[in-house]
Structure 1
Amino acid sequence: MIPGTDALLPRPRREVAAGAVHVPDWLGEHRQRELVELCRTWATGPALMRSVTMPNGGVMSVRSVSLGWHWLPYRYSRTADDAGGAAVAPFPDGLRALGREAVAAAYGPDEGDRYEPDAALVNYYDADARMGMHQDREERINAPVVSLSLGTACVFRFGNTENRNRPWQDIELVSGDLFVFGGPSRFAYHGVLRTLPGTAPEGIGFEGRLNITLRRTGLG
């Protein structure tokens, strides 16, 4: 992919699989810039952005910070138990409203009105970061996951619900794109194969990739 060439081609909204919807260019430049600044604030605490250590001792190449509930493999906590034990920042009302807008854009206004996210995971990818194929299974309720892309584009692999093997689809997610997966696709395996350096829009003041995912945990 040569950066910039795909900008000449239409990027229509499409249902990638049942319940998995890609809405290109959903966030305008102003909202992207606002979210980038918020991510910078969230990364400074009270629970700091960190690299997650997996149970097998491996360290994820992305760096993460949580809001509302702190994500650890494979559970949630109200405190950052793997990053100093600080209390997790509250889930922002602005993200709750944005999540409802996102689900409405994907599934319609009735579904958007019912969406009550209570946790966010902000992942930062540098040029070398990747995300292996995985399922989001820590939540106790089968509500959609909302994914917002900011900064550098990436190649996102969206697979099936049974295993990490084919069938899958590789999708280019660029800054401002929305991806929502729920229903039959809620537990699909997915991951990020690579980022595409040099593709971040100049107007948002950020190089590198930020991914904000919103979830409804079902926890009390």
Structure 2
Amino acid sequence: MHSSDKLWSEPIDPTKEHPAEGVALLRAFCREQAATLYEAIRNVEAHSPFRQMVVPGGHTMSVAMTNTGTFGWTTDRTGYRYTTDDPETGSPWPIMAAPLLSLARSAAAEGGFADFLPNSCLINRYSVGARLSLHQDKNEQDYTHPIVSVSLGLPATFLLGTLRRTETPRRIRIEHGDVLVWGGPARLIFHGVAPIAAGHHPLTGAFRINLTFRRVAVSG
């Protein structure tokens, strides 16, 4: 059996799909909450604006990012890391609003991961043509907690890989209000986002917004 065959399984109902072992796709899970979530995102942006970060190799990311929660993910020429303060403002990252925290916890539970308590949320803003190359979420250090990924606005093609970068990822169309949850045997899968196609969404305009909730290990 090909190693990736062990991950794939069939959806169990029309609104919850299981494209891989340890992965749940919750269709339209937060569509009705989208306006409230977007307002919370705008409040974060007012204190910690979106910015296009630079990776250690010197490349500027096409996706603009900001954070909310106790820890925020950042990157520059010195490496990838989590910080308690926004490097651009010198102030703590904005507190995670109750609607965001509630959504993350309920989605995780629906995806099979009870008692998830995120302390970090990376917010990505994709303009037309922006993409995210295949990568693993591994700076959190504790992999016992899932990743919860929320999509708002323009649709996207999510690249769902396996534990090996060399294997061809599965392409999954993600719509406004969909939530992906992955953990357990899938916690360190490679994943990414194909270039965003041109379009306009009533809530987000010419952008796709993605919220990625994580539980970051507290050092010390």
TM range (shorter): 0.7 to 0.9
181-190 vs 97-106, which moves further: 97-106
TM-score after normalising by structure 2: 0.85
Q: SS state of the match for residue 171, structure 1? A: strand
Alpha-carbon distance in structure 2 between the residues aligned to 1:130 and 1:56: 17
- Deviation at 1:86? 2.7
Gaps of 5+ in 2: 1-12
Q: SS state of the match for residue 157, structure 1? A: strand
1:139 partnered with 2:147: no
Do 1:67 and 1:89's aligned partners in 2 also have CA atoms closer than 8 Å? yes
Gaps of 5+ in 1: 1-9
Corresponding residue to 1:33 among 32, 35, 55: 35
| 1:92 corresponding residue in structure 2 | 97
- Deviation at 1:84? 3.9
Alpha-carbon distance in structure 2 between the residues aligned to 1:131 and 1:49: 16
- Deviation at 1:192? 0.6
Do 2:22 and 2:187's aligned partners in 1 also have CA atoms closer than 8 Å? yes
- Deviation at 1:70? 1.7
Alpha-carbon distance in structure 1 between the residues aligned to 2:171 and 2:100: 27
Do 2:150 and 2:180's aligned partners in 1 also have CA atoms closer than 8 Å? yes
1:117 partnered with 2:118: yes
Seq. identity, %: 29
Q: SS state of the match for residue 156, structure 1? A: strand
Given residue 183 of structure 1, which amino acid in structure 2 is its aligned partner? G
Alpha-carbon distance in structure 2 between the residues aligned to 1:11 and 1:124: 28
Alpha-carbon distance in structure 2 between the residues aligned to 1:76 and 1:196: 30
Q: SS state of the match for residue 133, structure 2? A: strand
> 4+ residue stretches of structure 1 with deviation over 6 A?
none
1:42-191 counterparts in 2 under 5 A? 42-45=44-47, 47-68=48-69, 69-73=71-75, 74-81=80-87, 83-107=88-112, 111-112=113-114, 114-142=115-143, 143-163=145-165, 165-191=166-192
